[in-house]
Amino acid sequence: MANPDQRARDCDPARSDDHRPSGVRRRNGPLCPLAGTKRRGRGSLTDVYRRCSVTTNIADVLGVSLGGLAQKRGLIPRVPDGERLLADAAVWLTGEYPDAVRSTHQHTTAAGETALSVDLHPAAPHLVVTANDDGRVSAAGETGVAGPGYHRFVGRVLERLGAELAIEWTDGDGATAFADRQTAERLYLGWLGPQLASARARVRRGERGVSLGMPGGLKVTTDAALATVLGPRDEAWLDAAIGDPRVALNVTPWWADATDGLYLLGRALVLMWLHVRWRTPAMEGEADLFDEIHRLLSRAYPFDPDLDFPWHAWAELTSLRGIADPMARQAANRATTTPEPDPPIGYRRDPVVISHEGWALEIPGSFAERRSAEEWWGGGNGRNITLAATATGHPDGTAMTAHEFIEQFAVELGPDAMTHRSGPVLGRARLMTDASSGLEVGILEGYAAVTGSGAAIRIEFDDPADWQWALDMWRALAPG
């Protein structure tokens, strides 16, 4: 048995390359047992150095939630209004972090505040900064899925943003937002441990494709036990990860603080697994996505050519995009000598289930998508679907029945409309054609409802033979 000093050396980040487990390559600092367990006092050497199951760690949520006050600034000192403050924030963020900021979106909330949503990593929900005209500022974002490296990055961004725009962070858990490395690792394990334990319980009940940190509103098709942002994992992996938290590093896109080759590779892989439609780019933004992935992988390669690059998917992506630079040729050559992974990278090679306002629908993985608070839209190959949904009720607070919703909202479909019932779901729809654009297209307009919730769906299709497909999609709409 290794002595305590040896076990301590095994947890030393400086020795991580010598002691990393199989499948985990060149990550700074494998998870040290000391970093992942809350302790109230000094125990024996055995207690201190024993590697504990990840499920014994604390259950804190890894995220940031801060509040503060904008200070007066300018030649004539004054507090900027919320819109001006966040416009300045967006300019500064995109200028200081051009490689990290994927997009920014500024809008007005229902409460009248200005909000800035910042996409900093494809595995994490957007960081949201809000401000009002009285100088109150808040920042909130979940950081658990992307990893402790991402959490620390968000903390540094907010710290610098506060200094740059004269925001004094006064409220919230600053100790968590600006965590040191060891605290960030501990908090990450606190998020991950319960997630793994819950996933194992669901898998043992027979569920497949259980989400581990996957984005909300999306369920992918896989026979594996787990679906993660870096691909599916089987039951053996799940059991190993619960027993040894270092195993879980290979579903962590951003473990280390450094923005090195592994960070760039993880960022590209998340995009390939979750966002790429494996066809020729056709919709707005798709070509830019392909370019972004190629750029990330091309930058990662010089950092560490021995990383496990997705040669087959990389070659396919550059072929679809028509990229023919030296790294694209390198990917194509390496794909001919590297075994093809099974399954191939990319959840959207198969159908996926989207959720919108409490309703779920299985769609082709190749569909492009747009989503707003009011509607979800998806389409491609001469087919597109628009979905809207809402909770339904009466002024006295009682829920509206499915029959009441259909009778109130679907009356415009006329007496010849088709009716559908499946369990608690009641639906009504009609098929028609529209030649107003000069080309005749088929249209299905329909509704579906259960007690307390109703949905409206519009399906358009170019091929008249797709009418049965349209009916099947409407009938498949269900709560979820």
In this model, does residue 45 exceed pLDDT 60?
Answer: no
CB 240 within 8 A of CB 225: no
Task: Give the pLDDT of residue 228.
Answer: 97
Angle formed by the axes of helices 181-204 and 148-165, nearest 10°: 130
Angle formed by the axes of helices 326-337 and 311-321, nearest 10°: 140
Angle formed by the axes of helices 235-243 and 181-204, nearest 10°: 140
d(CA 32, CA 328): 38
User: At 109, which amino acid appears?
Assistant: T
* Range of lowest pLDDT (6-10, 242-246, 367-371): 6-10
d(CA 185, CA 31): 7
In this model, does residue 15 exceed pLDDT 90?
Answer: no
Joined together, the tokens standing for residue 171 give 């409220």
Joined together, the tokens standing for residue 330 give 């390198």
What is the phi/psi pair of residue 431, to 5°? -105, 140
The three state secondary structure string of 302-350 is: HHCCCCCCCHHHHHHHHHHHCCCCHHHHHHHHHHHHCCCCCCCCCHHHC
Q: Considering only CA atoms, which of 444, 439, 441 is closest in space to residue 472? A: 444
Joined together, the tokens standing for residue 23 give 């499948």
CA dihedral 72, 76, 81, 84 (to 10 degrees): -110
Tens of pLDDT along 458-474? Answer: 999 999 899 999 999 99
d(CA 200, CA 208): 10
Q: What is the rounded average pLDDT for all residues in the chain? A: 86
CB 303 within 8 A of CB 261: yes
Tens of pLDDT along 256-311? Answer: 998 999 999 999 999 999 999 999 999 999 999 999 999 999 999 999 999 999 99
Burial of 266 (0-12, 13-18, 19+ CB in 10 A): buried
d(CA 211, CA 207): 10
Give this prediction's pTM: 0.84
In this model, does residue 23 exceed pLDDT 70?
Answer: no
Residue that the structure tokens 């009418």 belong to: 467
What do you get for the CA distance between the two ends of the chain, in Å? 51
In this model, does residue 51 exceed pLDDT 80?
Answer: no
CB 368 within 8 A of CB 380: yes
Task: Give the pLDDT of residue 35.
Answer: 29
Whats the size of the chain, residue-wise?
480
Q: Considering only CA atoms, which of 100, 200, 190, 118 is closest in space to residue 147? A: 190
Model confidence at 247, in pLDDT bands (50, 70, 90)?
A: confident
Q: What is the rounded average pLDDT of the residues 27-54?
A: 29
In this model, does residue 191 exceed pLDDT 70?
Answer: yes
Residue that the structure tokens 């691909």 belong to: 231
In this model, does residue 4 exceed pLDDT 70?
Answer: no
In this model, does residue 44 exceed pLDDT 60?
Answer: no
Joined together, the tokens standing for residue 184 give 């960030």
In this model, does residue 81 exceed pLDDT 90?
Answer: yes
